[in-house]
Structure 1
Amino acid sequence: MNAHVIQASVSTDYGSALPPLNKMTRCLVLPLMFGGSAVLGLSSAQAATSNVEQVTIYQGSASVTRALPITGNGEQTVVFSCLSPHMDKESLSVQVQAVGNVNVGEISIEELTGEQAAQCQYQGDAKVQTQQNTLANINAELEAARLAKAYLQNLTKATQVNTDSTIANNARDIETQATSINQRILEIQQRQARAQDALNQLMSGSATSTFNNVTQVSVRTASRSPSNIKLHYQVRGAGWEPAYQARLNTTSEQLSITASAIIAQQTGENWTNVPVTLSTVNPNQSTTGQLPYVQRLSLYEENQDANVRRESPMMDAAPVMMAEAAYTKGAGVSMAPLPNFTVSSQNKNGIIEYRLPQLVSIPSDGRRVRTVIGEQSGSSKLWIRSTPSVETAAYWYASAPFLTPDWVDGSLQLYRDDNYVGQSRYSYQMLKEQGIGFGSDPNMMVKELTNEDKQGEKGVLNRTQTITTTNAYQFTNQHNRSVRLQVLGSEPISRDDSLKVTVTNTPPVTERDWNDNQGIVAWEFDLPSKQSQVIRSTSQVSYPANKMLAGNQ
């Protein structure tokens, strides 16, 4: 059964003056003093369904805008029914805006339970509504056929015939008509059974979540002409997260990254063919920064407890709300233009909004709806990176100079030469600094040659002692082409003037303090096909003999 929003109007003539209601927007939330039947009891009641004009989805919540027409004139009560039970009703987030010369009065919010809530269960499910209409038409046909059969039966009893020929002719006519009606009733009953089965299957697998209650908002209005009224409210139980796919072609050195949004909601409302905007803002995070801690110091006096207290400066409490846990015509006919799914984005001082160009259907059952929100691609620089002191392996890496900081962090699926190689994390800053890893490279052989420590002897006359560490690794390129190899290593860092560190690298390092990481060094060179390269590093640490060496390794 379809649940409708009721717009009840009272045919009262106020003359040229409208009732003294506050105009345009009201945010007062008042409890209803009457049940849903009281609204239905108003005269000149008309049924209307509110349309969702806009949905903006955040992390854990959403802003919804609905619209209802105001027909007629005078004072009337407009009712938005079958709304989410998770609507934020305690704050002033429920707002009403009237379009045109309309006065807006009090706003009332109530919870509906039982049968009234059950009627809202399948509102907005287009397939269920279509099947319900089909079944209703079949039931009407069946009722008409049964009425025709009953009429024929009554006519037969009331008809008096006088001759044998007339009796025979009437009997044959009645038999023919009765047979036709019975066959029609049987055929309609079979269609009715099939339609009922189809409806039951749709309802059992419907995308609509069932709730024990729903929210209804009633708005008192006064107008002289038809207009529209909009309801803005916040609802919990919705959210979205970004997901990325990176595809690297190692032959052409082309890289493309596709950004998608995974949307899900369990608000209790089915959003069917609605405009959707995705916002990167998180309404659940703190909205104010903290002030610095100030120490209150005092001197300790005998027989008196110390009065050292930690006092936090007064600050506005940040409200925190916990969030509750996707045309083709025949030949010779002009083709209709294909829909454009290009997402427009806007950066509002760090808050990025993605406006989807197409209408989206997001059922309230928690299913994940995925839609593409952007793509960036271009030429990439490729290299193979190894950190042999940690792991004797090498990995493919690619730069992405075309990336922009508009995308927020999210999961990243990686494809190298059309093969799925794993999953990582998309972070603009990290990817710009370190590149994107695309899995291990079995064609780069890494072999450890030397890893030894030697400690100098301490004698009576020796005032210093030394520790010498040597590491050597061999890299062999088994590719059929030359590759760029990057090897990362480390050098000890002295934090004491009496502790001396000397490091010898063969070949010399290409970069020290790699990517502003103190102590990390990098070698970069082109390694020809089927060739090998050895990297050797020797460090010597000297310190006073009467001291002990402390470090983090």
Structure 2
Amino acid sequence: MNARLAQCSISMDNAGLRKLSKQMTKTAAMPLVFLSTAAFGLSSAQAAVSVVENVTIYQGLASVTRALPITGSGEQTVVFSCLSPQIDKESLSVQAMDSARVGEISIEELTGEQAAQCQYQGDAKVQTQQNTLANINAELEAARLAKAYLQNLTKATQVNTDSTIANNARDIESQATSINQRILEIQQRQARAQDALNQLMAGSATSTFNNVTQVSVRTASRTPSTLKLHYQVSGAGWEPAYQARLNTNSEQLSITASAIIAQQTGENWTNVPVTLSTVNPNQSTTGQLPYVQRLSLYEENQDAKVRRESPMMDAAPVMMAETAYTKGAAAPMAPLPNFTVSSQNKNGIIEYRLPQLVSIPSDGRRVRTVIGEQSGSSKLWIRSTPSVETAAYWYASAPFLTPDWVDGSLQLYRDDNYVGQSRYSYQMLKEQGIGFGSDSNMMVKELTNEDKQGEKGVLNRTQTLTTTNAYQFTNQHNRGVRLQVLGSEPISRDDSLKVTVTHTPPVTERDWNDNQGIVAWEFDLGSKQSKVIRSTSQISYPANKLLSGN
């Protein structure tokens, strides 16, 4: 009877072994769920992962709101785990929804194993690979159990002397070979999965901190509710970046405003709603009082040094490294997401609310998103300041510029060519226009640059200084252009110093853009045409005095 049972068991085919292996795989995988839940040693309510409801990013820090459900009724302790070690503990506040009550709040820092378990929380790729590796490990354990079962069964049948053992030796060998091959194949998959996990962890968007903050809140509620935790955390920031594109043929100008976001708070923000604020919380919040001089007389002359308290410097910008977005394929007939950013001006504080959920890892990489676009017709001209540089530059007006956009870097493209980088400053660009690089087709030549000095008068002798400058501008374009030339006139700050200036042709504007002493000529210059501008200034002052500039 035992021999027949052994023969029946030994004659199990490969399909049976695979079925047995699958059953053992399920059994082997069951304890893993318990281990992952019990890793923190918390109750089910405490082990729940808090959800980030909103992140507002400033310069140098962020304000975070997290929510955690309160399940059941009665008194319990709710734990917000895996929080940044850089939390400003004084900024913590807890808000209970509905009729829930809040008791004492405990804040502690955890290190070691608990911090390591938090390190990759929220990284979907790492979690997926960890699950894959866990399944392979369970499958390998099941195969090893099947091998041990076969080995034990073989030993049991060797006690009998039934002749059927010899007849089934080949079946035993075949099944053992199949199990060994399966174990080898699973071990190879295990090695590949472990390598893939190691690579993900090596380049994962994770915290490099060795500790985490945990906030425990004592609550009481008769019905399920929600608990919200608000706090500020340092190590986050954003900066604006602009791109201006000019088409000199159609005279169309477009400006795109982007926000470059990065954070190294120790928390990975995955698919969270983000608001960007132009406030810099590190700047001074109060104005200074005027300085009052306190005068006294000394018998001997002494040098008095007045020390004034200098204003607080702005915090250093967050260093960031850029990353690229990839677009996933949309489901058939599904509506496309709306990426239009809404902005709100709150008495000088601009808030940009991103419409899509954003993932910002805590490794300092740069996440870039468009926050605004402006475009329209522009007025073009070519500007030259020949007394400083015998060159000319393209300029464009931007009547649609908005003061809501804060200062930032400005990349410039003219006719689809990158021509350089400038600075976006609303006031400056509104007054002077946007420069789009040098124009090699406008030739600027200096004709005259001479100074003459002399004296006149017998009793009241005066010194005279006469300066003459002349420049020629030649348009090499195949079309006419608008040319603007900037020059200057000496300014007298002494009643005994007389200044006389003659311009040919007459200037179009004096004190250009409210800049005293700067003059401007503006005229249309046809293709292949030239224009000469000449300025002569005469300065007269008493011969017994020296002339000092600036």
Normalising by structure 1, we get a TM-score of 0.86
**2:205 is the alignment partner of 1:239:** no
Provide closer, same or farther for how the CA distance between residues 446 and 406 of structure 1 changes in structure 2, counting only shifts above 3 A.
same
Q: How much does 1:373 deviate? A: 1.0
Contact 1:329 1:335 in 2 (8 A): no
What does residue range 151-230 of structure 1 map to in structure 2 within 5 Å?
A: 151-159=149-157, 163-164=162-163, 166-230=164-228
Q: Secondary structure at the match of 2:394?
A: strand
What are the Cα deviations for residues 11-32 of structure 1, in whole angstroms up to 9, with x where unaligned? xxxxxxxxxxxxxxxxxxxxxx
CA distance in 2, matches of 1:355, 1:428: 22
Provide closer, same or farther for how the CA distance between residues 211 and 337 of structure 1 changes in structure 2, counting only shifts above 3 A.
same
Q: How much does 1:146 deviate? A: 1.1
Q: How much does 1:149 deviate? A: 1.4
What does residue range 23-42 of structure 1 map to in structure 2 within 5 Å?
A: 40=41
What are the Cα deviations for residues 114-141 of structure 1, in whole angstroms up to 9, with x where unaligned? 2221221111111111100000011111
Q: Which residue of 1 aligns with 2:512?
A: 514
Provide closer, same or farther for how the CA distance between residues 412 and 324 of structure 1 changes in structure 2, counting only shifts above 3 A.
closer
Q: Which residue of 2 aligns with 1:64?
A: 64
What residue identity is the alignment partner of 2:272?
A: V
What does residue range 365-384 of structure 1 map to in structure 2 within 5 Å?
A: 365-384=363-382
Q: How much does 1:543 deviate? A: 2.3
Q: How much does 1:501 deviate? A: 1.5
Q: Secondary structure at the match of 2:173?
A: helix
Q: Which of residues 440, 443, 460 is equivalent to 2:458?
A: 460
What are the Cα deviations for residues 425-462 of structure 1, in whole angstroms up to 9, with x where unaligned? 00001000000001110100000011111122245345
Q: Secondary structure at the match of 1:94?
A: strand
What does residue range 281-296 of structure 1 map to in structure 2 within 5 Å?
A: 281-296=279-294
Q: Which residue of 2 aligns with 1:74?
A: 74
Q: Which residue of 1 aligns with 2:5?
A: none
CA distance in 1, matches of 2:104, 2:369: 40
Provide closer, same or farther for how the CA distance between residues 467 and 46 of structure 1 changes in structure 2, counting only shifts above 3 A.
closer
CA distance in 2, matches of 1:523, 1:407: 31
What residue identity is the alignment partner of 1:356?
A: L
CA distance in 1, matches of 2:203, 2:458: 87
Provide closer, same or farther for how the CA distance between residues 514 and 348 of structure 1 changes in structure 2, counting only shifts above 3 A.
same
Q: Which residue of 2 aligns with 1:27?
A: none
Q: Which residue of 1 aligns with 2:496?
A: 498
What residue identity is the alignment partner of 2:452?
A: K
Provide closer, same or farther for how the CA distance between residues 86 and 187 of structure 1 changes in structure 2, counting only shifts above 3 A.
same
Structure 2 gaps of 5+ residues are 1-31
Q: Secondary structure at the match of 1:289?
A: coil
What does residue range 235-384 of structure 1 map to in structure 2 within 5 Å?
A: 235-296=233-294, 326=323, 334-384=332-382
Contact 1:3 1:123 in 2 (8 A): no
Contact 2:85 2:266 in 1 (8 A): yes
What residue identity is the alignment partner of 1:128?
A: V
Q: Which residue of 1 aligns with 2:421?
A: 423
What residue identity is the alignment partner of 1:48?
A: A
- RMSD between superposed Cα atoms in Å: 3.1
Q: How much does 1:178 deviate? A: 2.4
Contact 2:455 2:461 in 1 (8 A): no
CA distance in 2, matches of 1:101, 1:262: 41
Contact 1:287 1:318 in 2 (8 A): no
Contact 2:47 2:79 in 1 (8 A): no
Instruction: Give the paired residue count.
Output: 509
Structure 1 gaps of 5+ residues are 9-35
CA distance in 2, matches of 1:378, 1:439: 20
Q: Which residue of 2 aligns with 1:85?
A: 85
CA distance in 2, matches of 1:440, 1:309: 47
Provide closer, same or farther for how the CA distance between residues 542 and 415 of structure 1 changes in structure 2, counting only shifts above 3 A.
same
What residue identity is the alignment partner of 2:53?
A: E
Provide closer, same or farther for how the CA distance between residues 61 and 532 of structure 1 changes in structure 2, counting only shifts above 3 A.
same
What residue identity is the alignment partner of 1:77?
A: T
What residue identity is the alignment partner of 2:450?
A: E
Contact 1:3 1:82 in 2 (8 A): no
CA distance in 2, matches of 1:477, 1:417: 19
Q: Secondary structure at the match of 1:120?
A: helix
Q: How much does 1:46 deviate? A: 5.2
What residue identity is the alignment partner of 2:54?
A: Q
What residue identity is the alignment partner of 2:184?
A: L
CA distance in 1, matches of 2:64, 2:471: 61
Q: Which residue of 2 aligns with 1:395?
A: 393
Provide closer, same or farther for how the CA distance between residues 323 and 550 of structure 1 changes in structure 2, counting only shifts above 3 A.
closer
Q: Secondary structure at the match of 2:452?
A: strand
CA distance in 2, matches of 1:324, 1:3: 40
Q: Secondary structure at the match of 2:114?
A: helix
CA distance in 2, matches of 1:411, 1:246: 11
Q: How much does 1:231 deviate? A: 0.8
What residue identity is the alignment partner of 2:200?
A: L
Contact 2:455 2:462 in 1 (8 A): no
What residue identity is the alignment partner of 1:130?
A: T
Contact 2:46 2:80 in 1 (8 A): no
CA distance in 2, matches of 1:246, 1:255: 7
Contact 2:509 2:520 in 1 (8 A): yes
Percent identical residues: 86
CA distance in 2, matches of 1:455, 1:370: 61
Q: Secondary structure at the match of 1:182?
A: helix
Q: Secondary structure at the match of 1:484?
A: strand
CA distance in 2, matches of 1:76, 1:462: 99
Q: Which residue of 2 aligns with 1:55?
A: 55
Contact 1:237 1:323 in 2 (8 A): no
Q: Which of residues 103, 106, 122 is equivalent to 2:104?
A: 106
Which structure shows the bigger proportion of residues in helix conformation? Answer: 2
What residue identity is the alignment partner of 1:50?
A: S
Range 44-53 or range 390-399, more displaced: 44-53
CA distance in 1, matches of 2:97, 2:45: 21
CA distance in 2, matches of 1:301, 1:252: 72
Q: How much does 1:524 deviate? A: 0.1
Provide closer, same or farther for how the CA distance between residues 45 and 397 of structure 1 changes in structure 2, counting only shifts above 3 A.
closer
CA distance in 2, matches of 1:45, 1:278: 32
Range 541-550 or range 343-352, more displaced: 541-550
Provide closer, same or farther for how the CA distance between residues 163 and 300 of structure 1 changes in structure 2, counting only shifts above 3 A.
closer
CA distance in 1, matches of 2:328, 2:209: 41
CA distance in 1, matches of 2:212, 2:130: 22
Q: Secondary structure at the match of 2:80?
A: strand
CA distance in 1, matches of 2:483, 2:299: 70
Q: Which residue of 1 aligns with 2:546?
A: 548
Q: Secondary structure at the match of 1:76?
A: strand
**2:531 is the alignment partner of 1:533:** yes
Provide closer, same or farther for how the CA distance between residues 363 and 169 of structure 1 changes in structure 2, counting only shifts above 3 A.
same
Contact 1:61 1:323 in 2 (8 A): no
What are the Cα deviations for residues 301-350 of structure 1, in whole angstroms up to 9, with x where unaligned? 999xx9x999999xxx99998887758879xx942122111111111111
Q: How much does 1:175 deviate? A: 3.2
CA distance in 2, matches of 1:221, 1:398: 62
Range 196-205 or range 152-161, more displaced: 152-161
CA distance in 1, matches of 2:33, 2:201: 15
Provide closer, same or farther for how the CA distance between residues 262 and 463 of structure 1 changes in structure 2, counting only shifts above 3 A.
same
What residue identity is the alignment partner of 2:65?
A: T
What residue identity is the alignment partner of 2:494?
A: D
Deviation beyond 4 Å, 4+ runs, structure 1: 43-46, 160-163, 299-303, 308-313, 317-330
Contact 1:296 1:310 in 2 (8 A): no
What residue identity is the alignment partner of 2:501?
A: V
Provide closer, same or farther for how the CA distance between residues 150 and 538 of structure 1 changes in structure 2, counting only shifts above 3 A.
same
